[in-house]
Chains A and B, each alone.
Chain A
Amino acid sequence: MTTTDILEGRKAHIHEKGAVPFNIACEKQSVAGSVSQRACVFCGSRVVLYPIADALHVIHGPIGCAAYTWDIRGAWSSGPQLHRMSFSTDLQEKDVIYGGEKKLYQALVELIEHYRPKAAFIYSTCIVGLIGDDVEAICRRISAETGVETIPVHSEGFKGSKKDGYSAACNALNQLVGTGDTNGISPLSINILGDFNIAGETWVIKDYYERMGVEVVATITGDGRVDDIRRCHGAALNVVQCSGSMTQLATMMKEKYGIPIIRASYFGIEDMSKALYDVAEYLNDKTVMRNTQNLVRDEVSKLVPQLRKYKKDLKGKRAAVYTGGAFKALSMIRSLRTLGMKTVIAGSQTGNQQDYARLQELSDEGTIILDDTNPLELAKFLEEKKADLLIGGVKERPIAYKLGLGFCDHNHERKIGLAGFEGMLNFAKEVHGTVTSPVWKLAALHRKDVWSATSRQHRQGDES
């Protein structure tokens, strides 16, 4: 496999730290035929808006886009579960020919009547962009007729990348922000943006903030509620994780309402602590600061001894990180360091120049930095760099397993919370469990002398 040549169009997207001055291509459309791990604009907007649990999410287009995103994400809700349904106009041939507006209108009337959502998001997918349905007009009409705010999300897959989907989602959210009553909101208050409440992570983070004495007005993208979003412009501060997705909304709010922005990551001891301190410092309140110090001290002193036994086994192991956004990769590298591990490959689907520059600063010599990579490249570098662990999502999992190395799911489908201090412990357990599993000893990689490739034995027919 080490013989894999990198496609010409891909070379500029790969950087090895130390070999040459930092330079990497990114934020480009994926190379045709490169088997990118990326999704599309629709995916980006669906990800961001998905956790708004009391809204109706209707996907306008043929069935696929809706079917593949039905309840696959781990964004938990403390109340309504409407977001876990998959609604689609399921366009048929005649709709494609004559237009899908009527069908969309009819579908929305019925769904809103039946489910009585707080708001509705209508996602336009590829075909809709082509056949030119006036989704905006239908949404206006539905809003007027039903009184339920119906918001178009322009997420035609081909019109850009996942990032453009984030932007479409922010535009949609922006229609809600500023429409609610902000009375009674404490000056010591924040919004949590860009945390998706995977396995209840938002609740963990929210709990920290509340222990600090900070009011959380809205958790927009994790266990989100329409009414909270309507009034979230009353908060004193926006705290943005997953900057790729939510910076835009935060910026809009800054311009319109003067709400400052803090970037945060909730993964790993260092980043988690820093996030809380940053918020406390900004709010500039003695009690909050004291509470924060106590909280961090308590949590860290509880956590560190628990990590010790995992660290012992993991020391010196090598990891590869491939995440959706690049900011998260930074936290991963730090978390892995906490566990005594070294990151030998770091990459993301959607990072920008600045992200990658920081990634490479933080990395050791020889680390491979990848933008928008594909299975062949990943496999090649995993082999070359002798990684023991891959951190990624479902699509990356079989690459690791086939090669006989551990895997940690850090995507939106995971069922284990990895954020916060308790998340760090979960992370350590999971990484430890997979890296030290005895199953790798049985894998082909280590048994090749004894068992040559036997797959032919099972093959059908003869070859003559």
Chain B
Amino acid sequence: MIAALPVSEHFTATRNACKLCTPLGACLAFSGIEGAMPFLHGSQGCSTYIRRYMISHFREPMDIASSNFGEHTAIFGGGKNIRLGLANVIEGYHPTMIGIATTCLSETIGDDVKMFLHEFRKDHQGEALPHLVHVATPSYTGTHATGYHDAIRAIVDVLAQPGPTIKGVVNLIPGMLSPADLRWLKDVVTDFGLQPILLPDYSDRLDGGTWSEYKKLPPGGTTIQQAARMGQAEATLEFGFTTNEATSAGTLLEKKFGVPCSHMGVPMGVALSDALFDKLSQISGRPVPVKYQGRRGRLIDSFIDAHKYVINKRVVVFGEEDLVVGMTAMMAEVGLKPVLCSSGGKSKKLGESIRAVAPEIADDCEIHEGVDFEEIAEHAKQLEPDLLVGNSKGYKLARELNVPLMRVGFPIHDRIGGARVLHVGYDGAQTRFDSIANGLLEMRQHDSDVGFTYF
């Protein structure tokens, strides 16, 4: 890693954050369970803002309840509110599970949510209650990615059950991916003759069809039964470069139920996708299905067709750390040059992960954790990139630099189809690569006096 170029000034304030807050991640994770309802223990504003934000990306209904703190609650604690809130959610929505995440407020006043839930269960003894999954998500200790992973672990902790191993069942814990990614992954595992249990699976719930009548809870998601059977699976595949393996959901399954866990990179690009296919082949004892061999072949063919247009083009990548690592791996494979990899997250693993997946570029690339968009912009301006890869929030910078922005990750709220961006596997690499190559070609056309019509 070359020494960071000097940035003009240091700012104590965060200026245009490249991260969101912890409960948002938890709400996304909870949205992947069938019949589940996310519930924020705190004041109304947080849940409304998070809803609004997620709706602008997924363009799907996104109901998040709140225990709705008032001044009294902040002083005397949220016990009463959470009880009333849960009762109202149960009455209004009939959920199978309520995912309860705390906000900064309830964390800081020190609400004992565990105890509140215990009391709530006692009050409702003999009634069929939904599963209550609780995760502590004070936002001042992490980002939305942290909240996401912690919530997944909490779900596993509550729902997974012991039992004899069921052959062919494979747990897949994919990390913060798009609904399109989740669909793709399910298909792949299924095509190996295995039964995937994907946690979470918001592929239908956050990217569904229209309804003939309004559904209180969107259909789809990992069922409670499936989540229960995660303790009986043959294996777990858990994706993520920067997650803390020691406290991950996959590790929990391994420790609690003896389900062996493979921690793998998020399969973006050829090499990381290959690793996934090898693993699935090994677990299932079957060769890679012919159709994927075909796709892989076409992908590489397209890399060759376009390699000259992308070679050594300088790229700035930003977003969630895992996404940054995966995208960097994929781009390095085709000769693109990520010159700045940056994230608002602070796992302390970004640099090491990038060196692991893309050693060839890592030495010439600035890698920054815990940065905001203004810092990214300052570095980016000095690095003169040809392309930006990241979420919609980079548009301002792309416009300023007059380079294309290839939108990936979350949030994508200035384009249609944020939920349908495919990042993973050979197909994800194909669509991403095509859009990068075409973005660069378009730029050449745009910049040319002649206006080439033929490349």
Name A residues whose Cβ lies closer than 8 Å to a Cβ of B. Answer: 1, 4-5, 7, 9, 29-43, 58, 61-72, 85-93, 95-96, 103, 106-108, 110-111, 114, 126-127, 129-131, 157-160, 374-376, 379-380, 382-383, 393-395, 397-399, 401-404, 443-445, 447-448, 453-455, 458-463
User: Could you name 22 residue pairs across A and B whose Cβ atoms are closer than 8 Å?
Assistant: A7-B92, A36-B48, A39-B49, A62-B140, A64-B20, A68-B20, A85-B15, A86-B16, A87-B14, A96-B104, A106-B12, A126-B42, A127-B108, A159-B71, A376-B93, A383-B213, A402-B60, A403-B214, A444-B212, A445-B211, A445-B213, A460-B186
Q: Given A40-B44, A158-B43, A445-B210, is A461 in contact with B226 using a C-beta cutoff of 8 Å?
A: yes
Which residue from chain B places its CB closest to the CB of A110 in the assembled complex? B11
A462: chain B residues within 8 A (beta carbon):
195
In the complex, what's the smallest C-beta–C-beta distance from B410 to chain A, in angstroms?
12
In the complex, what's the smallest C-beta–C-beta distance from B202 to chain A, in angstroms?
12
A379: chain B residues within 8 A (beta carbon):
214
Q: Is the CB of A459 within 8 A of B88?
A: no
Q: Per a CB cutoff under 8 Å, which of A39, A90, A93 touches B17?
A: A90
* Contact digits for B392-429, partner A, Cβ 8 Å, 1 yes 0 no: 01001000000000000000000000000000000000
A460: chain B residues within 8 A (beta carbon):
186, 190, 196-198, 201, 222, 226
In the complex, what's the smallest C-beta–C-beta distance from B358 to chain A, in angstroms?
29
A445: chain B residues within 8 A (beta carbon):
210-213
A96 to B107, CA, bound (A): 11
B211: chain A residues within 8 A (beta carbon):
402-404, 444-445
Q: Is the CB of B46 within 8 A of A157?
A: yes
B136 at the interface (CB under 8 A from A): no
B19: chain A residues within 8 A (beta carbon):
63, 67
Which residue from chain A places its CB closest to the CB of B81 in the assembled complex? A32
In the complex, what's the smallest C-beta–C-beta distance from B252 to chain A, in angstroms?
20
Which of B13, B15, B23, B183 has the most chain A CB atoms closer than 10 A to its own CB?
Answer: B13
Q: Per a CB cutoff under 8 Å, which of B46, B50, B73, B140 touches A93?
A: B140
A193 to B25, CA, bound (A): 38
A71 to B56, CA, bound (A): 13
Q: Is the CB of B17 within 8 A of A86?
A: yes
A72-B52, A445-B213 known, 12 other contacts, Cβ within 8 Å? A4-B216, A30-B44, A34-B65, A36-B68, A40-B43, A86-B15, A89-B14, A158-B43, A394-B56, A398-B59, A455-B208, A461-B226
B84 at the interface (CB under 8 A from A): yes
A41 to B62, CA, bound (A): 22
Q: Is the CB of B49 within 8 A of A35?
A: no
Q: Given A30-B68, A86-B15, is A157 in contact with B45 using a C-beta cutoff of 8 Å?
A: yes
Which residue from chain A places its CB closest to the CB of B59 in the assembled complex? A398
B209 at the interface (CB under 8 A from A): yes
In the complex, what's the smallest C-beta–C-beta distance from A44 to chain B, in angstroms?
9
* Contact digits for B121-150, partner A, Cβ 8 Å, 1 yes 0 no: 000000000000000001111000000000
Q: Is the CB of B139 within 8 A of A64?
A: yes
Q: Is the CB of A395 within 8 A of B74?
A: no
In the complex, what's the smallest C-beta–C-beta distance from B52 to chain A, in angstroms?
5
Q: Per a CB cutoff under 8 Å, which of B43, B50, B203 touches A68?
A: B50
B216: chain A residues within 8 A (beta carbon):
1, 4, 376
Q: Is the CB of B21 within 8 A of A64?
A: yes
Which residue from chain A places its CB closest to the CB of B169 in the assembled complex? A461
B449: chain A residues within 8 A (beta carbon):
none
B77 at the interface (CB under 8 A from A): no
Q: Is the CB of A395 within 8 A of B140?
A: no
Q: Given A66-B14, A459-B204, is A394 in contact with B195 using a C-beta cutoff of 8 Å?
A: no
B257 at the interface (CB under 8 A from A): no
Q: Is the CB of A130 within 8 A of B108?
A: yes
Which of A39, A107, A131, A462 has the most chain B CB atoms closer than 10 A to its own CB?
Answer: A39
A90 to B61, CA, bound (A): 29
Which of B46, B138, B203 has the most chain A CB atoms closer than 10 A to its own CB?
Answer: B46
B91 at the interface (CB under 8 A from A): yes
Name B residues whose Cβ lies closer than 8 Å to a Cβ of A. Answer: 9-17, 19-21, 23-24, 39, 42-53, 55-56, 59-71, 73-74, 81-82, 84-89, 91-93, 103-105, 108-109, 138-141, 169, 183, 186, 190, 195-198, 201, 203-204, 208-216, 219-220, 222-223, 225-226, 393, 396
Which residue from chain A places its CB closest to the CB of B190 in the assembled complex? A460
Which residue from chain A places its CB closest to the CB of B90 in the assembled complex? A33
Q: Is the CB of A68 within 8 A of B53?
A: yes
B393: chain A residues within 8 A (beta carbon):
70
In the complex, what's the smallest C-beta–C-beta distance from B352 to chain A, in angstroms?
23
A272 to B6, CA, bound (A): 54
Which residue from chain A places its CB closest to the CB of B50 in the assembled complex? A68
Q: Per a CB cutoff under 8 Å, which of B9, B11, B48, B140 touches A43?
A: B48
Pair count A-B, CB < 8 A: 280
Q: Per a CB cutoff under 8 Å, which of A34, A159, A394, A402 touches B52?
A: A394
Q: Is the CB of A62 within 8 A of B104?
A: yes
A4: chain B residues within 8 A (beta carbon):
92, 216
Q: Per a CB cutoff under 8 Å, which of A5, A66, A69, A96 touches B140?
A: A96
In the complex, what's the smallest C-beta–C-beta distance from A448 to chain B, in angstroms?
4
Q: Per a CB cutoff under 8 Å, which of B10, B61, B73, B210 touches A375?
A: B61
A455: chain B residues within 8 A (beta carbon):
204, 208-209, 219-220
A89 to B372, CA, bound (A): 12
Q: Is the CB of A458 within 8 A of B204?
A: yes
Q: Is the CB of B48 within 8 A of A96?
A: no
- Which 3 pairs across A and B sit closest by C-beta, in order of nearness? A40-B45, A64-B21, A33-B88
Which residue from chain A places its CB closest to the CB of B84 in the assembled complex? A32
A110: chain B residues within 8 A (beta carbon):
9-13
Which residue from chain B places its CB closest to the CB of A165 in the assembled complex? B45
Q: Per a CB cutoff under 8 Å, which of A68, A91, A376, A380 touches B49?
A: A68
A401 to B39, CA, bound (A): 24
Which residue from chain A places its CB closest to the CB of B413 in the assembled complex? A72
A459 to B182, CA, bound (A): 11
Q: Given A110-B9, A114-B9, is A38 in contact with B44 using a C-beta cutoff of 8 Å?
A: yes
Q: Is the CB of B15 within 8 A of A87?
A: yes
Q: Given A32-B68, A375-B61, is A131 in contact with B108 using a C-beta cutoff of 8 Å?
A: yes
A95: chain B residues within 8 A (beta carbon):
140
Which residue from chain A places its CB closest to the CB of B88 in the assembled complex? A33
Which residue from chain B places its CB closest to the CB of A131 in the assembled complex? B108
Q: Is the CB of B56 within 8 A of A402?
A: no
In the complex, what's the smallest C-beta–C-beta distance from A72 to chain B, in angstroms?
8
In the complex, what's the smallest C-beta–C-beta distance from B419 to chain A, in angstroms?
12
A463 to B227, CA, bound (A): 11
A71: chain B residues within 8 A (beta carbon):
396
Q: Is the CB of B219 within 8 A of A90?
A: no
Which residue from chain B places its CB closest to the CB of A456 in the assembled complex? B219
A38: chain B residues within 8 A (beta carbon):
44, 48
Q: Is the CB of A395 within 8 A of B197?
A: no
A61 to B103, CA, bound (A): 12
Q: Is the CB of A395 within 8 A of B55?
A: yes
In the complex, what's the smallest C-beta–C-beta distance from A222 to chain B, in angstroms?
22
Q: Is the CB of B220 within 8 A of A62?
A: no
Q: Is the CB of B61 within 8 A of A107?
A: no
Q: Per a CB cutoff under 8 Å, which of B13, B23, B56 touches A90?
A: B13
A108: chain B residues within 8 A (beta carbon):
13
